[in-house]
Amino acid sequence: MNIRYPFLLFLLLMFLPTPSQSQESRQGIILKNFEIIAFGSEYQNKTWKGLRKWVDPIRIGLQGKYPPYLEDEIKDFSNDLSTITSHPVELYYSHGMQKRRELAKNFNKKRVNVIVFYIPVADIKKKVGKYYKDRPHELGILLNDATCFAKFFTRRLEIRAAIVVIPDNLPRRYVRACVVEEIAQIMGLPNDSDLVSDSVFKDRGRYNELTSHDKLLLRILYDHRLTFGMSRKETMLQISRFLPELMEER
């Protein structure tokens, strides 16, 4: 009666994925997700043909009557991003830092290239409307649908500046989630999609912190073998070459 069990076990082992197959499957998912998030657009009906990323250090300026903890959240997450990507990210200016005389010795307010606005909902349109002059309807959609939002600005696909908008009526845990997702997205991964799982970039996801998947996408984006302006096809081909190396380092 038990003679068939070894045979059934043999069949089961035949159809289990081998380690190499499993690794190839994971690489395929990462490639697909990177393409969706880096080249897609949540609020514009288009896909981008070239890669967008920063070259200059990211210097964040915080504006508004913000709670003291927001400085710490931005500082901590900026340090995390710098570690993950090896690209400089810092909280460069805030009223609190100025008051405490913590600004850099060579501080120049003109060097701020990311503004984080912490403001009342009623003031958002007036305060950031100028950044949406090219797409005013998009700002209306964001005000209706988004908890918080961000936008970056490019020159020949090099990201040169960005804004992040956080309404001042949010609980602390939501503020933290906004800091994580929006600042990660202005790095050059702007799209939210339900096609992506285990990620803060999933449109209706349960994650408020970067997952290992998200950290890998950021490492891919800021790998020295990718440069801003690379075509979508060239980017994906290049990633497919060095992705196994990055996945082994995790």
Q: Is residue 18 part of a domain?
A: no
6 occurs within a structural domain: no
How many whole angstroms separate alpha carbon 227 and alpha carbon 240? 15
Cα(100)–Cα(90) distance, integer angstroms:
17
Domain enclosing residue 190, as ranges: 24-249
- Round to whole Å and give the CA distance between 30 and 247: 10
Rounded to two decimals, what is the model's pTM?
A: 0.89
List pLDDT tens digits, range 89-139: 999 999 999 999 999 999 999 999 999 999 999 999 999 999 999 888 999
Residue 8 lies in a domain: no
Q: Is residue 94 part of a domain?
A: yes
* pLDDT tens, position by position, 45-85: 678 999 999 999 999 999 999 999 999 999 999 999 999 99
Let me know if residue 192 belongs to a domain. yes
Distance CA 53, CA 230 (A): 10
What's the CA gap between 5 and 2, in Å, rounded?
Answer: 6
Domain count, the chain: 1
Q: Parallel, antiparallel, or unpaired for β 158-167 and 89-93? A: unpaired
Contact residues for 188 (Cβ-Cβ < 8 A; gap 6+): 38, 51, 52, 53, 54, 152, 159, 221
Q: How many Cβ atoms sit within 10 Å of the Cβ of residue 61?
A: 18
| 34 falls within a domain | yes
Q: Is residue 11 one of the residues assigned to a domain? A: no
Q: Which tens digit of pLDDT belongs to each residue from 187-239? A: 999 999 888 988 999 877 678 999 999 999 999 999 999 999 999 999 999 99
175 in Cβ contact with 26 (< 8 Å): no
* 191: CATH: 3.40.390.10
